[in-house]
Amino acid sequence: MMATPCKPQCFPNQRLSFSLPSLVMIITWLFSVTESAAPITVKGEVGGNVTIFHLNEGPVEFFYFQRGTEYVNGYHSTKPLNDSVPWPNTRLSEDKRTLYMYNLNISHSGNYECYVNKNHERDVIQYIVHLNVTAKYTVPEVKMNCNGLSCMVTCSSYGGYPKNSMSWSIPGSQKVWKEVDSNVTEDPNTMMMNIVSTAYFNCSNGELQHNRCSVGEVTSDMFRVCTPSSTTGNYYVIPIATSALVGISIIMALLLLWKCKKRRTGAVAIDVRQEWGMDGQTEEEVELKNTAS
Ligand SMILES: *[C@@H]1O[C@H](CO)[C@@H](O)[C@H](O)[C@H]1NC(C)=O
Ligand SMILES: *[C@@H]1O[C@H](CO)[C@@H](O)[C@H](O)[C@H]1NC(C)=O
Ligand SMILES: *[C@@H]1O[C@H](CO)[C@@H](O)[C@H](O)[C@H]1NC(C)=O
Ligand SMILES: *[C@@H]1O[C@H](CO)[C@@H](O)[C@H](O)[C@H]1NC(C)=O
Ligand SMILES: *[C@@H]1O[C@H](CO)[C@@H](O)[C@H](O)[C@H]1NC(C)=O
Ligand SMILES: *[C@@H]1O[C@H](CO)[C@@H](O)[C@H](O)[C@H]1NC(C)=O
């Protein structure tokens, strides 16, 4: 996304446009003291491109764009600037009036200065450009772990900038939940932030619906806690129940096979009795059950 280029008032090409006292104007003229206009803010996103500087009109003798004492890019109408290597992620337009910055990352954030000299003027105008690079946090990922009486829910969001915090939107009573831990860490390579926040929910008042967690404008899907299924076990209750059901079905099928086999071959009742755990029962009772089924 391109930042909007500076409005004309950002780049006054006549010193007279400043309503300064005349003495200051004379001093400025004689000593070529730099004038500074109001800082210009340019917004960009990580990986994006911006127009970081644009001169609207009038001839230009030179302009230098720098950060502190570090040269970023520039132009001089009569001198080659080949002793200064421009930042590789910057490019000057053909007409030498617009400077672009590409593939932004967090370390490009900060203040830059631009020194502009118009032809036939002896003063240099200084502009301060504030580049603000941001990164969108990922949609918070929700994970929950319930033990029947309570649930611990973790919301995680990654790769954002600037630093922010996780906020929880839990309709209903404030008493049944609380944020118990929040951890914001910086990725040392990208300088971007990761947020992991954990909240505790008391399930004694039943299910809590329409919950969300969010970082700035980025919001998770709605989630429910203390649902009937989550209170009977934990988050993995469904896979466990399914595998138990499959196990029981297999045992039943095997037992049926046993019974069919027994009828045909007249296998001894004691085997079935052991299978059913009915060791204390008499052979007659077991025989009765088998014929009944
Ligand atoms: C930024 O500029 C590069 C090079 O011109 C281009 O490949 C890329 O698509 C641009 N990205 C955006 C987000 O505009
Ligand atoms: C810059 O380039 C000019 C000609 O293009 C050359 O004469 C000069 O030596 C170069 N200066 C440096 C510092 O490389
Ligand atoms: C950068 O922009 C973001 C979003 O507009 C804002 O919250 C933040 O305060 C700005 N940072 C600076 C240093 O201006
Ligand atoms: C925050 O998370 C990081 C990485 O997972 C971990 O090393 C650190 O100990 C955590 N800090 C706190 C206060 O929990
Ligand atoms: C940002 O990009 C510059 C190159 O433009 C690179 O040298 C620097 O390591 C990058 N920094 C981060 C924090 O990614
Ligand atoms: C959960 O809430 C109930 C009723 O509000 C309360 O009696 C109980 O002590 C709470 N449990 C915990 C672990 O805080």
For ligand 1, is residue 89 a contact (CB within 6 Å)? Answer: no
Task: For the full predicted model, state whether its pTM sits above 0.75.
Answer: no
159 Cβ below 6 A of ligand 1:
no
The predicted structure's pLDDT at residue 250: 62
Burial of 9-29, coded b for 16+ CB within 10 Å and e otherwise, reads ebbebeeeeeeeeeeeeeebe
pLDDT at 20 exceeding the cut of 80: no
- pLDDT-above-70 percentage for the chain: 68
Distance in angstroms (rounded) separating the CA atoms of residues 41 and 5: 10
| CB of residue 85 inside a 6 A radius of ligand 2 | no
**102 Cβ below 6 A of ligand 1:** yes
Among 39-43, 121-125, 141-145, 227-231, where is mean pLDDT lowest? 227-231
Residues 6+ apart with CB under 8 A from 48: 1, 104
Q: What is the pLDDT of residues 182-225, one digit of tens each?
A: 999 999 999 999 999 999 999 998 899 999 999 999 999 999 99
Please tell me the residue having the least CA distance from ligand 6 atom 11: 202
Tell whether domain 20-134 is in CATH 3.40.50.300.
Answer: no
Which of 15-29, 208-222, 230-244 bottoms out in mean pLDDT, i.e. has the lowest? 15-29
Mean pLDDT within 55-73: 88
**Beta carbon of 37 within 6 Å of any ligand 5 atom:** no
**How many angstroms separate the alpha carbon of residue 212 from the centre of ligand 2?**
61
Whether 9 shows a pLDDT value over 50: the answer reads no
Structural domain boundaries in the chain: 20-134, 141-228, 239-278
Asked if the domains 20-134 and 141-228 are classified in one and the same CATH topology, the answer is yes
**Is domain 141-228 classified as CATH 2.60.40.10?**
yes
Helix 269-276 and helix 237-265, axial crossing angle in degrees, nearest 10: 170
